[in-house]
Amino acid sequence: MGWFWDVRPSKTMFQAGNHQARSETMNEFPWHTDCSYEDPLPRYFALQVLQHYRYGGGTLSVMNVEKLNDLLSPESKTALMSPEFRIEIPPEFIKDSDKKHITGSVLMSNGQSTMIRFRDDIVTPLTDRAKSALQELREALMQQEVQAHTTMHLKSSDLPKGSIILMDNRRWLHSRNFIKDPERHLRRVRWDACAFNSSGKNVGK
């Protein structure tokens, strides 16, 4: 199954009814996993550039989760891999009025690599150790030396009109800075949703 989603600034026309998604603003969007509130979580996504940034801003940054994980303490990694976090479903993406959050882990390992589901503004730790681990993760994401080791920054010149970038939604976090071009237009495609605790053996199913 796949989903198409137009990503462009709008103040009046929202794809999710009366609620504006964060991707429909011109604001900065810090490090996150797409659909981190979904269960199952889409494993892959692609961004197609229909109208590139013409006035600066909107830089897409991508961070390797495996390298990020290597920089966390063992205690924090253990806590982040435990189902001790409440993840709120943003109002614009609620499908069932009786289900407004999920409970799960932030990190997961299948023995070969580390995966993540994360969007800071909708994650709440449910235990003291989860709170401490989440704070360590937040601090790591902000450190310049961590970003130098884990991150690539893709400017408009790297993603001209017609470009397509493919990403593993579980193994790479992404973010963007402020958008200066109100006509900027991307199309996002997500696919291969499977349970976050899956080993990944059903890739391509």
Asked whether residue 21 is domain-assigned, the answer is no
* Helix, coil or strand: residue 92: helix
- Which residue type is seen at 150? T
Identify the pLDDT of residue 129.
99
Identify the pLDDT of residue 164.
94
Asked whether residue 202 is domain-assigned, the answer is no
| Closest of 197, 190, 165 to residue 44, by C-alpha | 190
**Under the phi-then-psi rule, with left for phi > 0, alpha for psi from -120 to 50, and beta for the rest, what region is 35?**
left
- Rounded to the nearest 5 percent, the helix, strand and coil shares of the chain are 25, 35, 40
Q: What DSSP element (H or E) covers 102?
A: strand 101-104
Asked whether residue 135 is domain-assigned, the answer is yes
pLDDT by residue (tens digit) across 48-105? Answer: 999 988 888 889 999 999 999 999 999 999 999 999 999 999 987 888 989 999 999 9
φ, ψ at 96 (rounded to 5°) = -130, 120
**Under the phi-then-psi rule, with left for phi > 0, alpha for psi from -120 to 50, and beta for the rest, what region is 165?**
beta
Report the Cα 177 to chain-centroid distance in Å.
14
Identify the pLDDT of residue 56.
80
Asked whether residue 175 is domain-assigned, the answer is yes
φ, ψ at 3 (rounded to 5°) = -130, 140
Asked whether residue 116 is domain-assigned, the answer is yes
Q: What residues form DSSP beta bridges with 118?
A: none
Strands 114-116 and 151-154: unpaired
| Closest of 57, 105, 59 to residue 85, by C-alpha | 105
Q: Write out the residue range of the structural domain in which residue 125 sits.
A: 2-12+26-194
CATH classification of the domain holding 159: 3.60.130.10
Asked whether residue 205 is domain-assigned, the answer is no
Identify the pLDDT of residue 202.
38
Instruction: Please give the chain's pLDDT, 205 residues, in tens.
Output: 456 778 777 655 555 555 556 667 778 899 999 999 998 888 999 999 999 888 888 899 999 999 999 999 999 999 999 999 999 999 878 889 899 999 999 999 988 899 999 999 999 999 999 999 999 999 999 999 899 999 999 998 999 999 999 999 999 999 999 888 888 888 988 877 666 665 444 333 3
Asked whether residue 203 is domain-assigned, the answer is no
- Token pair 């462009």 in the structure block, residue: 8
Q: In total, how many domains does the chain have?
A: 1
Identify the pLDDT of residue 163.
95
